[in-house]
Amino acid sequence: MSSLFIAVEGPNGVGKTTIARFLADSLAELGSAGVHLTGEPTRTPLGQLLRRQESFLHGKALALALAADRAAHIETEIIPRLDDGLHVVTDRYVASSLVLQRIDGLDLGEIWSYNRYVLPATVVYLEDHPEVIRTRLAARPQLTRLELAGSPEKELALYREAAAHLHRQQWRQHVVVCHGLTPERVVDTILGLLPADGP
């Protein structure tokens, strides 16, 4: 299996971070290559600033800042790891911008114009029942501005529109319905969808 670049996407509260971690661990256990787990916003100073300033930055300013963080992510972290023969799994990538920045008032065409340069990934969209997602979000001690502005139903619909857009860009994409499944079962499903020869 050659190097895979996989983006785990889906609504807030669907379990992206957990599944990305389990997926990275499972790929490592297969032993074909090392695995690098990452996410967006990144752990760089810029990415951490974006996490702290989401309530301050809105609309175009936030979208451009996220695109800059993503450009640095691709150039300084993702491509070098792939060139080293590692698999790369990212918790959030372009589809998150195509959804969350729409909730923040931008249209899809404008958001894509800031991200059209990106390295294509194999995208795995996680879905669950809206009520399950809503219950998970309610258990969080604090919600972000964009989590409060959206809803599970709205995010699910916008992710499907994002997937349709990326399909037109010829990205490889898969949808995995997580309802009632353990993380291990979800990851087994994802592994069965991945190309044996890399993207």
What is the model's pLDDT at position 195? 77
Residue spans of the chain under pLDDT 50: 198-199
Return the structure tokens found at 49: 């600033």
Peptide bond into 80 cis (omega under 30): no
Q: Determine how many CB atoms are found less than 10 A away from the CB of residue 53.
A: 12
Integer Cα distance of 92 and 6 in angstroms: 10
Return the structure tokens found at 152: 């599970």
Helix axes 59-73, 45-53, angle to 10 degrees: 160
**Secondary element (H or E) of residue 92:** none
Spell out the domain ranges in the chain: 5-189
Which residue do the tokens 């001690």 mark?
Answer: 141
CATH code at 5-189: 3.40.50.300
Integer Cα distance of 84 and 67 in angstroms: 24
Contacts of 6 (CB under 8 A, 6+ apart): 23, 87, 88, 89, 90, 121, 122, 123, 124, 190, 194
Tell me phi and psi for residue 196, to 5 degrees. Answer: -70, -20
Contacts of 47 (CB under 8 A, 6+ apart): 40, 41, 69, 73
**Secondary element (H or E) of residue 36:** strand 35-39
Which residue do the tokens 């800059």 mark?
Answer: 68
What is the model's pLDDT at position 196? 64
Return the structure tokens found at 60: 């175009």
What is the model's pLDDT at position 199? 43
What is the model's pLDDT at position 31? 77
What is the model's pLDDT at position 179? 97
**172-189 per-position pLDDT tens digit:** 999 999 999 999 999 999
What is the model's pLDDT at position 129? 98
Residue 194 in 3-state DSSP? Answer: coil
Helix axes 152-168, 108-115, angle to 10 degrees: 60
